């Protein structure tokens, strides 16, 4: 979500991308004034999308005793989340992540869907050997 001070996407990381020849679309671009610009990755949201996601979370209603009031953790005006309990984070990763980030391109969303399913399976009450092998 490109939160200032919370991202590891810095100039040094982008130089590593160039060195490893991983993704040309993420390489630093030199501007006309000799400064380097970091192009936005295709998995980041626009400020409008950020605000709409936080607004959706702030209006979210959850069943009683399923999760605490996750809506109180979202602040759409400041575009931030705060005060989530560990169970709230699990609920968000396992259930809400896929809904909140559906506007991402399909190849990114499908990776998030697999990750969400992995955490849901890993944190289930019963874990079978076949499921561990599959994961």
33-76 pLDDT, tens digit per residue, is: 888 888 888 778 888 888 888 899 999 888 877 777 888 888 88
Quick one: 94 and 117 in the same domain?
yes
pTM of the prediction? 0.71
What is the total residue count of the chain?
135
Tally of domains in the chain: 2
Quick one: 37 and 54 in the same domain?
no
Quick one: 37 and 55 in the same domain?
no
* Whether 14 contacts 28, CB under 8 Å: yes
Quick one: 31 and 57 in the same domain?
no
Quick one: 51 and 32 in the same domain?
no
pLDDT at 120 over 80: yes
Give dist(CA 81, CA 97) in Å, integer: 14
Range of the domain at 26: 1-41
């Amino acid at each position: 979500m490109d939160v200032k001070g919370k991202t590891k996407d810095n100039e040094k990381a982008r130089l590593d991308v160039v060195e490893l020849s991983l993704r040309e679309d993420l390489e630093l671009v030199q501007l006309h004034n000799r400064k380097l610009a970091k192009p936005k990755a295709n998995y980041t949201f626009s400020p409008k999308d950020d605000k709409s996601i936080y607004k959706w979370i702030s209006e979210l209603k959850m069943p009683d005793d399923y999760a605490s009031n996750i809506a109180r953790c979202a602040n759409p005006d400041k575009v931030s989340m705060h005060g989530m309990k560990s169970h709230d984070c699990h609920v968000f990763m396992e259930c809400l992540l896929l809904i909140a980030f559906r506007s991402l391109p399909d190849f990114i969303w499908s990776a998030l869907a697999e990750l969400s399913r992995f955490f849901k399976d890993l944190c289930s009450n019963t874990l079978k050997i076949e499921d561990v092998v599959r994961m």
